[in-house]
Amino acid sequence: MGRTVITFIGAGSAVFTKNIAGDILSRPALANAEIRLMDINPERLRESEVIVGKLAQTLGGNRFRRLLLSGRRL
């Protein structure tokens, strides 16, 4: 079975992203999932990236990536 990838489109909504990412990071079945964050606003995306990064450090070792809607990796 392949790796699970969870993509947040509209991840610039920091409160929503924090709540859902916290739920995902606390689930053992998703421990190896890759979380991808996407938004058209780079500043808000950066805020969410910091939040999810801190959650990942605290709750688990999930990998996550920051992306723009264009699909460019930053």
Residues in CB range of 31: below 8 A, 6 or more apart: 60, 61, 62
- Type of residue numbered 15: V
For residue range 7-57, list pLDDT tens digits in order.
888 888 889 989 998 888 888 888 777 888 888 888 898 899 888 888 888
How is the chain split into domains, by residue range?
A: 5-68
Name the CATH superfamily housing domain 5-68: NAD(P)-binding Rossmann-like Domain (3.40.50.720)
Overall pTM surpassing 0.95 (yes/no): no
